[in-house]
């Protein structure tokens, strides 16, 4: 059912816009592309990239959220709340600011290489930030509690955002080129950027699925999980790497988009399953659905003007976040 929902949303996504194209024409454009027809060109050359970006980013965010909620045993776990997004943005902005200067000594490293490396840079930033959040939250006598993880995530997010702003204030040009991306937006991406992000995303997803069984055991507590033969430390490191890769792939494409990773796993858990081996792939599908739907709304609500997609997911996500925060023990 979930894949059908996704297919329906994708079809609507390709059809709607400044120029509405009927579903039949969209399907025709996909399966019998005719370069002389304007509608076909719009679907395949303009909207298709954006659709793929949305699919990949949404799926990555959904899985990343499910993963973070499992690792931190925190219902509020999410790349935006736990600082991964801010870490990824900081890494990308720093690479834009300092990258060319650093790369000037190496002629092989030119502009296109920097863009292709962006998902990896973002992934490193996200993973490093998450590691920092976990380290600070684990300090103290009680160890890692859901509340401390959330607080440290929010605090360190602000810190990273401050460092990002400082760089952007000093460098107007960078700000101008990435302002929309900073707010979380699916537009303005190319197939080149997608090609860079796909392997990062797949690696993260594969790693996440490989540890799903272990995370199921860890949900019962560290003692039970060790008793079942789970290597806690290795699983946490793998989870951290997977979350970083997924978040990096998403942020490099769509900017820091919040709350998709928060809402999606909760919906899957409430409606379908708590078993992470199933929950992770379902979160991918549903995450893609949600992000595409949000982007569709962002494009059409105030047409012909566009809202930032990240603003729209926050509009849906914040009430869910508050409801969960009020309910959590």
Partner 1 sequence: MVFAVKARPADRHRLDVPQDPALEPSPLQAPPIAPRAPPGLSVDGLRAGYGRRVVVDDVSFAVGAGRMTALIGPNGSGKSTLLAAMARLLKPFGGSVRLDGRSVHEMPTKALARALGILPQSPLVPEGLTAYDLVSRGRYPHQGFLQQWSDADEAAVEAAMRLTDTLDFAQQPVDSLSGGQRQRCWIAMAMAQETRVILLDEPTTFLDLRYQVEVLDLLRHVTRAHDRAVVVVLHDLNLALAYADTVVCLKEGRIRAVVEDGVGLDPALIHDVFGVEVMALRHPQTGRPVFVPVTGPSEGAA
Could you tell me the smallest distance in angstroms from the CB atom of residue 108 to partner 1? 39
Q: Are 157 and 86 in contact (CB under 8 A)?
A: yes
Q: Distances in Å between the alpha carbon of 200 and those of 61, 99, 206, 301?
A: 13, 20, 10, 33
CB closer to partner 1 out of 22 and 227: 227
CA dihedral sign of residues 5, 11, 17, 20: negative
Could you tell me the smallest distance in angstroms from the CB atom of residue 202 to partner 1? 17
CB closer to partner 1 out of 145 and 300: 145
Where does this chain bind partner 1 (CB under 8 A)?
73, 210, 213-214, 216-217, 219-221, 223-224, 226-231, 269-270, 274-275, 277
SS3 category, 286: helix
CB closer to partner 1 out of 147 and 224: 224
Could you tell me the smallest distance in angstroms from the CB atom of residue 226 to partner 1? 5
Could you tell me the smallest distance in angstroms from the CB atom of residue 151 to partner 1? 21
CB closer to partner 1 out of 23 and 221: 221
Q: Is the peptide bond between 304 and the residue preceding it cis, with omega within 30 degrees of 0?
A: yes
Q: Distances in Å between the alpha carbon of 204 and those of 61, 238, 248, 266?
A: 11, 9, 9, 21
CB closer to partner 1 out of 19 and 274: 274
Cα(322)–Cα(319) distance, integer angstroms: 5
Could you tell me the smallest distance in angstroms from the CB atom of residue 228 to partner 1? 5
DSSP annotation of 18 reads: S
């Amino acid at each position: 059912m979930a894949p059908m929902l996704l297919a329906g949303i994708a079809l609507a996504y390709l059809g709607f816009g400044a120029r509405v194209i009927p579903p039949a024409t969209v399907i025709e454009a996909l399966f019998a592309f005719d370069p002389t027809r304007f509608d076909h060109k719009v679907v395949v050359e303009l909207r298709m990239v954006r659709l793929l970006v949305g699919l990949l980013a949404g799926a990555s965010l959904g899985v990343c959220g499910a993963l973070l909620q499992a690792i931190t045993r925190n219902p509020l776990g999410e790349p935006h709340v736990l600082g991964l997004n801010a870490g990824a943005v900081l890494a990308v902005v720093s690479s834009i600011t300092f990258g060319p200067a650093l790369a000037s000594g190496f002629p092989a490293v030119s502009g296109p290489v920097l863009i292709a490396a962006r998902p990896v840079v973002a992934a490193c930033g996200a993973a490093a930030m998450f590691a920092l959040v976990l380290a600070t939250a684990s300090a103290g006598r009680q160890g890692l509690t859901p509340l401390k993880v959330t607080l440290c995530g929010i605090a360190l997010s602000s810190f990273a955002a401050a460092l990002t702003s400082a760089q952007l204030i000093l460098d107007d040009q960078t700000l101008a080129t990435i302002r929309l991306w900073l707010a979380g937006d699916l537009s303005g991406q190319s197939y080149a950027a997608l090609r860079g992000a796909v392997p990062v995303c797949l690696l993260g997803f594969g790693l996440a699925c490989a540890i799903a069984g272990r995370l199921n055991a860890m949900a019962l507590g560290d003692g039970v999980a060790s008793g079942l033969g789970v290597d806690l430390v290795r699983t946490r490191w793998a989870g951290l790497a997977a979350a970083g890769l997924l978040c990096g792939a998403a942020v490099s494409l769509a900017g820091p988009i919040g709350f998709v990773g928060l809402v999606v796993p909760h919906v899957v858990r409430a409606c379908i399953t708590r078993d992470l081996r199933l929950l992770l792939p379902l979160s991918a599908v549903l995450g893609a659905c949600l992000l595409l739907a949000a982007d569709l709304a962002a494009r059409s609500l105030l047409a012909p003007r566009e809202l930032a997609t990240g603003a729209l997911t926050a509009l849906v996500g914040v009430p869910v976040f508050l409801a969960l925060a009020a309910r959590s023990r």
